[in-house]
Chains A and B, each alone.
Chain A
Amino acid sequence: MKRLILALILAAAPALAVNPDEVLDDPAMEARARAISAELRCVVCRGENIDESNAAIARDLRLLVRERLVAGDTNDEVIDFVVDRYGEYVLMKPTTGGANILLWGAGPALFLIAAAGAIIYLRGRSTAKAPGADGLSDAEQARLDELLNR
């Protein structure tokens, strides 16, 4: 009984992501396939790319990617092919088009603003008068002069 359960479950969920039978003979092309796989999301998984995923649909996509590569597509053509069918949801790295410019631009823009703010602040700090010793009021200064010139 236990063996049966084991066998059933093992059959349902392959444990390895990329299985040996998927691997292409040409190492260079296989390396390209792996790189492309890392850029494509497994649509039924939670944030995994198809290269890491054990899901059946990820396997289908991995095979599709390899099929396109063997057919002579470039990396970009393969990715476009998949995006045409599944939408931009499959891209792990979002495009820079449209509103996504906010996503990509936010970091650099914030950094520039913060750096500008910091420089203004630092300039202020380096020229400010320290309260206390230097920050004497006119009356205090007069009194000090008086004492010193005694």
Chain B
Amino acid sequence: MIAELGHLALVLAFGVAIVQTVVPLVGAQKGWSGWMAMAVPAASLQFLLIAASFAALTYSFVNSDFSVRLVALNSHSAKPMLYKISGVWGNHEGSMLLWVLIVALFGAMASWFGGGLPPKLKARALAVQASIGVAFLAFILLTSNPFLRLAQPPFDGQDLNPLLQDPGLAFHPPFLYLGYVGLSMAFSFAVAALIEGRVDAAWARWVRPWTLAAWIFLTIGIALGSWWAYYELGWGGFWFWDPVENASFMPWLFAAALLHSAIVVEKREALKSWTILLAILAFGFSLIGTFLVRSGVITSVHAFANDPERGVFILMILGVFTGGALTLFAVRASAMEAKGIFGMVSRESALVFNNILLAVSAIVVFIGTIWPLVAEMFFDRQLSVGAPFFEAAFTPFMVVLAIILPFGALMPWKRAKLGKLVRPLVPAMVLAVAVALLAWSIQTERTILGPVGFLLGVWLVGGAATDLWSRLGRGPVSGRFGRMLRLPRADWGRVTAHAGLGVIFMGISGLMAWQVEDIRVANSAEPFEVADLTLMIREIRQVEGPNYLSTTADIVVSKNGEEVALLQPEKRVYPVQAMPTTEAAIDNGFWRDIYVVIGDPQDSGGYAVRTFIKPFANWIWAGSLIMALGGLLSLSDRRYRVAAGAAKQKPVQGVPAE
């Protein structure tokens, strides 16, 4: 019964979404305010209906209603509650339902907080947002109905893939989707602006918070996925350049570019058409990502839906939305007149180069991802494009980005002098070079990667500190610290996010350059050495978990005779899916992780044990979180709140212009 109600709610939401697409668009064209206003209640209603539908599916999962096909295929009565809930989106149908739920959520939020928007722009943006909902609701109802019943319900379900039964992965998809789909809001605003033929600072101020929010969610989602891969897949890799990872990384790069270019539109009324194009591309690449993942066209670890019919449907959605938006762009872009004047060396030009680097690197990732497909279709070659390609082809852009970033962040608008810029940055440069030399001298391997990564990382963090310091004006140090608290949140956000990027640079290069690995057969109670640590298997025992069986080892790690950690790596078997997984045991540390995996019992006695010492590993995720925090600070900047409440209050002047 509940499942049928969920289905019904979904059908009703489809109807509401169609109304929300058509009526406000016509209203905005004809200038009928009643028709335009229709978008607001429709957006709320559509959201409530999809939420009800989602709740119905969640109810079926939580109560293990195995007469619902999706629940029978993806759940099991013995599964812990967290994974019963995360099982809702741990499959194709449920994840698409989550997708439309978030589309509708963003639409509803735009209608709730959009009081200050010009009515026409608001009506059109909500209509475009609803049209995305229409397309994906049709997709779900026609090809991927989550509420199908089974005539003969099984006694118990088939369980969720054990690799996905993990807290990190439980929240990875919702964050990624909030990011992916959040970009739909920027897309809707871009298309609405194209229909209207007008882009100004107010428009940019409206688009940027949505893009920021989407980018923050994407950052967290990608970091969660990477963290999950690190501890779950058993060899401590954190990024594989897998097509599905790339699918989330491309929108992230475009969103980052869009964040920066929207500032130029907001502050200087330039780069308008480019910003519109970026907004279209950012969401376009979200759709491409969905297509790559959902169609299984490029098989990868994550592709749990291999269904060409669905692939064609999503390809059509992709074609209609990006194709339509780009056509509209081609017709209307010339109407966007740039106003700002600026020199060849200026903050504007620095942001242009930021955009080029981010956009080109995103396209490099895109080409690398689809190249095996292209090569097979057009050149009859079966080949692979793996991590070594991306490391060679993508990294140089990030290196250049890191080099110019601190200069760009310090540049004034309109016109800058290079000589004046260099002087405040000298301390950061000296520090970066010193740290790189230090790293070079104490490392045992002769690798250039570690020192260069740290050079850039320290340069970014130092550059961010310089940036902060330079915003505090002149005068005595105490006065400067006093002014710190009064600095606009946007400044804090920028500085924090840029420093976070520096921390990520250090984490990635440190981990890749200085990891220590040891593979051996270890017997119980026989200590062995890895770098400066001594490890010993104390005991190996069989443990029964809620829905798995485990072989757990107690491994004592000591340093100079003192016990540092007790690590308990496991090998688990999930009988329902007949699938073994390795659970690495990790001792997290500020400077390094100790990462231990146990393997098979050996014929000669003892167990295979793989030990890694992973320096700076946590810096990668810490840096990502710092970056997300920077986004959050920027999002909380006063000017967005002022803009949001503008309709109710008197127009507020005097927002600090950077």
A residues bordering B, Cβ < 8 Å? 2-3, 5-6, 9-10, 13-21, 23, 38-39, 41, 46-49, 52, 87-94, 98-100, 102-104, 106-107, 110-111, 114-115, 118-119, 121-123, 125-126, 128-132
Contact = CB atoms under 8 A, between A and B. Distances in A.
Contacts of A20: 519-521, 602, 608
Nearest to A22: B519
A52 B300 CA distance: 15
Contacts of A5: 549, 573, 575, 578
Given A6-B551, A15-B600, 4 more contacts: A21-B521, A49-B386, A52-B237, A125-B342
A5 B378 CA distance: 47
A111 B397 contact: yes
B599 A14 contact: yes
Nearest to B392: A93
Nearest to A43: B384
A2 B549 CA distance: 8
B328 interface: no
A94 B379 contact: no
Contacts, number: 173
* 8 A-B pairs with least C-beta separation: A92-B386, A93-B388, A16-B599, A107-B364, A99-B379, A114-B356, A15-B582, A89-B382
Contacts of A103: 367-368, 371, 375, 385, 389
A95 B377 CA distance: 18
B463 to A, nearest CB: 22
A52 B364 CA distance: 25
Interface in B355-385: 356-357, 359-361, 363-364, 367-368, 371, 375, 378-379, 381-385
A11 B598 CA distance: 14
Contacts of A2: 544, 549, 575
B386 A19 contact: no
Interface in B376-406: 378-379, 381-389, 392-394, 397
B240 A47 contact: yes
A92 to B, nearest CB: 3
29 contacts: A2-B549, A2-B575, A5-B549, A9-B580, A10-B600, A13-B580, A14-B599, A15-B582, A16-B599, A20-B521, A21-B521, A38-B388, A41-B384, A46-B301, A47-B384, A88-B383, A92-B386, A93-B388, A100-B371, A100-B383, A103-B371, A106-B363, A114-B356, A114-B360, A118-B352, A126-B341, A129-B341, A130-B339, A131-B337
A148 to B, nearest CB: 24
B602 A94 contact: no
A69 B521 CA distance: 23
Considering residues B235, B299, B368, which has the most beta carbons from chain A within 10 angstroms of its beta carbon? B235
A91 B375 CA distance: 14
Contacts of B340: 125
B343 A98 contact: no
Interface of B is mostly: mixed
A128 B339 CA distance: 9
Contacts of A94: 371, 383-385, 389
Contacts of A17: 235
A89 B383 contact: yes
A103 B379 CA distance: 12
A9 B252 CA distance: 39
Given A14-B600, A100-B375, A125-B342, A107 B397 contact: yes
A132 to B, nearest CB: 8
A99 B383 CA distance: 12
A98 B579 CA distance: 42
Contacts of A88: 381-383
B412 to A, nearest CB: 15
B149 interface: no
A52 B233 CA distance: 10
Contact of A122 (B352, B571, B600): B352
Contact of A110 (B301, B360, B598): B360
B600 A118 contact: no
Contacts of A9: 573, 578-580
A16 B384 contact: no
A16 B383 contact: no
Interface string B500-532: 000000000000000000011100000000000
Nearest to B388: A93
B276 to A, nearest CB: 15
B341 A128 contact: yes
Given A93-B388, A125-B348, A99 B375 contact: yes
B342 to A, nearest CB: 6
Nearest to B367: A106
A89 B384 contact: yes
A107 B362 CA distance: 9
Contacts of B303: 46
B471 interface: no
B344 interface: yes
B384 A92 contact: yes
B338 interface: yes
B599 A110 contact: no
A10 B301 CA distance: 21
B242 interface: yes
A47 B582 CA distance: 19
Contacts of A14: 599-600
Contacts of A125: 270, 338, 340-342, 348
A111 B398 CA distance: 13
Contacts of B521: 20-21
Nearest to B386: A92
Contacts of B234: 15-16
B610 interface: yes
A41 B386 contact: yes
A67 B589 CA distance: 38
A16 B386 contact: no
A139 B402 CA distance: 50
A100 B385 CA distance: 10
A18 to B, nearest CB: 6
B457 interface: no
A148 B602 CA distance: 98
B610 A16 contact: yes
A4 to B, nearest CB: 11
Contacts of B349: 118, 122
Contacts of A129: 341
Contacts of A131: 337, 339
Contacts of B356: 111, 114-115, 118
A125 B575 CA distance: 66
B417 to A, nearest CB: 14
B597 interface: yes
Contacts of B301: 46-47
A12 to B, nearest CB: 8
B274 to A, nearest CB: 9
